[in-house]
Structure 1
Amino acid sequence: MHLNPSSLSESELYKILSGAVSPRPIAWISTMSQEGRFNLAPFSFFTVVSSEPPMICFSIGPGEGEREGTFKDTLTNIRDTHEFVFNFVPFNLIQEMEQSSKDYLPDVDEFNEIGVNQLNSTIVKPPGVKESPIQFECKLDKIVPLGKYHLVIGKVVHIHLKNEYYQNGKLNLIKLQPVGRLAGNYIQVKEIFNLK
C-alpha cells in the first residue's frame, strides 16, 4: 500500500501517525496564567530531546469543540510566563490525567477539578502534581509553529524525584508503572527486557 499524505484527511493522517508512532509517553503539563490561575493538561506528542543541556519538547494542537479556532490554555500560559512543569504519569494517576484532558474554561483550576494536590516548585512559579513521582521544572527555550500545532521546547531547570523510585543511579521503571498512548488507547508498562 502506498499513501500520499496530501490525499488523506486530517483525521486519517492523525490515526496513521499516532498509531505508528507508539507507544508515546505522556507529558502532563502544569502551567500558571499571568493572573495566577493554574492549568493542568496532558500531551502525548512528547519526548526528551537533549541531555546536555537537559531539554524536553511537546506539541500542542489547536483548541477543539466549542473552543475551535483558539489556542489552548497551556500554550497561552507558556507564551506569557515562559515556564511550565512536566509531571510523570504512572498507572495509578491515569484517571486523573484523562479527566484533565477535558476542555475546561480558562478560569477553571484543573488541580481542584480533578482532585490532585499542588507541589510547590523550587525555581518556576507553576506547581507540580504532588501525587506524581517525578516533576521537571522547565523554562521555555522556544516555541516553533508547525501548521496548526506549536512545538514547545523547554530546558529542565530542576527535578523532583521521589526517593523510592531512584535506585543505583537510575529509575525503577517497573515500580514507576509508566503509561503511554497507542493511537487513541493507553498502554501500561508491565514487562521490561533487554537484548544483552
Structure 2
Amino acid sequence: MNLDLRSIESKQAYKLLTGSVIPRPIAWVSTTSAQGENNLAPYSFFTVASRQPPALCISIGAGTEEREGTVKDTLANIKLQKEFVINVVPSSLGNEMQKSAEYVPSNVDEFKTAGLTPVESTSVKPPRVGEAPISIELELNQILEIGSDHLVIGNVVHYHIKDEYYLGNYKVDIEKIGILGRLAGNYGEITNIHRLPR
C-alpha cells in the first residue's frame, strides 16, 4: 500500500502521521494573556529546534470545533507576550494534563481547573507548573505559518529541574521521570530504555 497524502483529506493524513511519528513528547505550555490570566495546554507536536542557541519548537493548530475560525489561546498569548513555558509531563500528571486540554473559555485558568500550582518563573512572565519535574522558560524567536498550523520557535532562557530527577553532569534521570508520550490517540509511559551496543 502506498498513498499520495496530497490527494486525501487532512484528517486521514493526520491519522497516518500521528500513528507513525511516535512516541511524541508532550509540551505542556503555560502562557499569560494581556489581562494577566494564566493559560495551560498540552501540545504533542514538539521537539528541539536548535542546539546553539538552545531552542524548542511546538506546532499549534487552528481553534477547536467549538471555536472554529479562531486561534488557540496559547498562540494568541505567545504572539502578544513573546514568552512561554514548556513543562514536561510525567505519567503521574496525565489526568491533570488531560484536564487542561479540555475546551474552556479564554478567561478560565487551567491551573485551577486541573488543580495545579502556578509557580513564578525566573525570566519570563508566564508561570511554570509547580508539580512538573522539568520546566523550561522560553522567549519567542519566530512563528512560521505552515498550512493550517503555526510552528512556534522559542529560545530557552531558563531551565528548572527537580533535584530528584537530576543525575549530575547535566544529565536527566529519564527512567525515574516516566515521561508521558503521545501514541496516535493514546499515551505511553517512557520507562523501558533499550540500550544498543556501541
Please classify the TM superposition score into its range, dividing by the shorter chain length. Answer: over 0.9
Residues 67-76 or 47-56, more deviating: 47-56
1:160 and 1:52 mapped to 2: Cα distance?
19
Query: SS in structure 2 opposite 1:188?
Result: strand
CA RMSD of superposed structures (Å): 0.8
User: 1:38 Cα shift?
Assistant: 0.5
Alignment pair present for 1:131 and 2:131: yes
Whichever residue aligns with residue 173 of structure 1, its letter is I
Partner residue in 1 for 2:66: 66
Runs of 4+ with deviation above 2 angstroms: none
| Map of 2:172 onto structure 1 | 171
| TM-score normalised by L of structure 1 | 0.98
2:113 matched residue in structure 1: 113
1:100 counterpart = 2:100: yes
CA–CA distance in structure 2, aligned partners of residues 161 and 101 of structure 1: 23
Q: Say yes or no: does 1:33 pair with 2:24.
A: no
Which structure 1 segments of 5+ residues have no match? none
Structure 1 counterpart of 2:182: 181
Within the alignment, does 1:162 sit opposite 2:152 as a pair? no
2:141 match? 141
Give the letter for the 1:16 counterpart: L
Distance 1:145 1:130 in 2: 32
Whole-angstrom distance in 1 between the partners of 2:127 and 2:107? 16
1:6 Cα deviation after fit: 2.0
Q: TM-score of the superposition, structure 2-length normalised? A: 0.97
Report the Cα distance in structure 2 between the residues aligned to 1:85 and 1:107, rounded to whole angstroms: 19
Using the TM superposition, give the Cα deviation of residue 26 of structure 1 relative to its aligned residue in structure 2, in angstroms: 0.3
Amino acid at match of 1:18: T
Aligned length: 196
**Deviation string for 1:65-90 (max 9, x for gaps)?**
22011000000000000000000000
